[in-house]
Amino acid sequence: MTSSTLSDDARRRHPSVVPSSSQTFAHPSELLFSQLLTLYGHPWIYEPLEFPLKWNEHGVPVRGFRPDFYLTERRLFIELTVSEQRLVTKKNQKVRRFRDLYPEIPLLVVYQRDFHELLRHHDLRGFDTRAA
């Protein structure tokens, strides 16, 4: 079974689409971004869902995409991308696949230059987004 033959119901029933309970951020930039969202009064959830992107021959998801934030009132997913270029290219492939499979789900990608501009706007230029 290929992804093109899976029904919408099958895609949405997969256990990877269960909300995440984790509140630990994968990167310091995500913590800072969450604080900015809160500052502006945008209720958010961190990495709430994983969307299957690729399935094996048995219909089991083998690749997924978990956007960083979900703005609950705006019904918008946000992916924060502050990585080096070789990783951004791989992430862009996932974003394209996500948009192909789930065109009805809004996704905003915030790239490194946009994030740095946001930091400059808030006079947070000393924050190093490369820190692990």
* DSSP string for 44-110: EEES---EEEEE-TTS-EEEEE--SEEETTTTEEEEEE-S-HHHHHHHHHHHHHHHHH-TTS-EEEE
48 domain residue, yes or no = yes
Residues 114 and 29: beta-carbon distance below 8 Å: no
Q: Which residues contact residue 71 at a Cβ distance below 8 angstroms, ignoring those fewer than 6 apart?
A: 37, 42, 43, 44, 77, 78
pLDDT at 28 over 60: yes
pLDDT of residue 85: 73
128 domain residue, yes or no = no
129 domain residue, yes or no = no
Q: Tokens 């994030």 correspond to what residue?
A: 115
Q: What is the mean pLDDT of residues 25-49?
A: 93
By percentage, how much of the chain surpasses pLDDT 90? 53
Q: Which domain holds residue 31?
A: 3-121
Q: Name the domain count of the chain.
A: 1
pTM exceeds cut of 0.85: no
Q: What CATH number does residue 49 fall under?
A: 3.40.960
Structure confidence at residue 19 as a pLDDT band (50, 70, 90): very low
pLDDT at 8 over 80: no
127 domain residue, yes or no = no
Quick: pLDDT tens for 44-97.
999 999 999 999 999 999 999 999 999 999 999 999 988 777 778 888 999 999
37 domain residue, yes or no = yes
pLDDT of residue 58: 94
pLDDT of residue 20: 45
131 domain residue, yes or no = no
Q: What is the spatial distance between Cα 61 and Cα 112, in angstroms, rounded to a whole number?
A: 29
Run of H or E including 27: none
**Least confidently predicted of 14-18, 31-35, 95-99, 112-116:** 14-18
126 domain residue, yes or no = no
User: Does residue 117 or residue 12 have the better pLDDT?
Assistant: 117
89 domain residue, yes or no = yes
